[in-house]
Structure 1
Amino acid sequence: MISYRLDKSNVILSLKGDWDAFSTQNGGPSNSAERYVGRPLWDFVSGFETQSFLNTLTFFARQQNQPVSIGYRCDSMDVARAFKMEITPAQDGVLTVAHRPLVIPTPVTDPDVADLNNRREHTLTCSQCLRVQRNGTWLEAFGVRKGTGFLVRYTICPDCRDIADQKMSEDRGIVRIFGT
């Protein structure tokens, strides 16, 4: 498990766990942990929609003073990985955000996405489940990202928005946050 603490402005206060090993295993620098502390979380989150999604989750945890947890994919080039993100509020607006690994089967790539590496335009990709949008449908694309031609624009797919809505509204009488 790796985790970090955020202040009330979502600036990273501290890291826990072996961030350097995780970074190195994924092609990043070996001294990554020291580069995060004191910086806004948003410096490390790609895409306006993903930032808005995470901002909603952190806002909810603080305002309701309740933990929020949600699953997401974080594949490496060769391994399908999933994590459960748990956002737990503390005093003074501080949050602890923990990422616990989950065991998942290797996804089966939809044949309709095989040509994504050859496209010149950006492909909408859900930053939570890593499916891609093709012709209005969200499809599994595990392994497609191995090529150098795959251009991504991150968003949140409707299924992942619905899951977040459901988690935040269960037994709390909260109205839908993301939907219409």
Structure 2
Amino acid sequence: MNTTADTVTYRIDADDHLCGFDDHWSSFAADNESPHLSDQLIFNRPIWDFIQDAETRHIHETLLKRVRTNNTPLSFPFRCDAPTLRRYMEMKITPLDNRAVEYRCHIVRTEVREPIETANATADHDDNFLRMCS
């Protein structure tokens, strides 16, 4: 697994349960005010437990089906913001043996910004936005 701090890697098994994390997973969760997502607390849970809305779930199901059916990696850019930071990232989804899948999320660049409440994980949110990070 990748060991650079600007990359977080995790795996799911054929049943879509979280089954592997790199060394940076839990520190990334803690740095983003989500210690409840540490690897020890979520190991062997379905990835679907952590996707909050139907649209995002549909996107992830479609991507997983494509990667598994074609047995080829898929990469795409995305943004995953924090309250005071814009993170421009790239996700690579790679098929593994026995229909397992590896996700590699790499920070391409960041931009500091004034804090905004919509990116605050503890703030109330409505359903008017598509949440890619879930």
TM-score range, shorter chain: 0.7 to 0.9
Residue identity opposite 1:151 in structure 2: H
* Contact 2:117/2:123 (8 A) holds in 1: no
- How far apart are residue 151 of structure 1 and its match? 2.3
- How far apart are residue 31 of structure 1 and its match? 7.2
Residue identity opposite 2:106 in structure 1: R
- By relative contact order (CA 8 Å, sep 6+), the higher-ranking structure is 2
2:52 corresponds to which of 30, 42, 46: 46
Residue identity opposite 2:50 in structure 1: F
Rounded Cα–Cα distance in structure 2 between residues aligned with 1:31 and 1:46: 14
Matched residue count: 124
5+ residue gaps, structure 1, are 108-141, 158-180
Q: Aligned residue for 2:126?
A: 152
1:80 corresponds to which of 77, 86, 99: 86
- How far apart are residue 21 of structure 1 and its match? 1.3
**What is the DSSP-based 3-state SS (H/G/I as helix, E as strand, rest coil) of the residue aligned with 2:35?**
coil
Residue identity opposite 1:81 in structure 2: R
* Contact 2:77/2:89 (8 A) holds in 1: yes
1:6 is aligned to 2:12 = yes
Q: Aligned residue for 2:96?
A: 90
* Contact 1:68/1:86 (8 A) holds in 2: yes
5+ residue gaps, structure 2, are 1-6
* Contact 2:82/2:119 (8 A) holds in 1: no
Q: Deviations over 1:83-114 (max 9, x none)?
A: 2111000111011111111115568xxxxxxx
1:143 is aligned to 2:116 = yes
- How far apart are residue 47 of structure 1 and its match? 0.6
* Contact 2:85/2:111 (8 A) holds in 1: no
Q: TM-score with structure 2 length normalisation?
A: 0.79
**What is the DSSP-based 3-state SS (H/G/I as helix, E as strand, rest coil) of the residue aligned with 2:76?**
strand
Residue identity opposite 1:155 in structure 2: L
| Aligned residues: CA RMSD | 2.7
Q: Aligned residue for 1:131?
A: none
Rounded Cα–Cα distance in structure 2 between residues aligned with 1:103 and 1:149: 25
Q: Percent identity?
A: 24
Rounded Cα–Cα distance in structure 2 between residues aligned with 1:146 and 1:5: 26
Q: Aligned residue for 1:123?
A: none
1:32 is aligned to 2:38 = yes
Q: TM-score with structure 1 length normalisation?
A: 0.60
Larger Rg: 1
Residue identity opposite 1:55 in structure 2: E
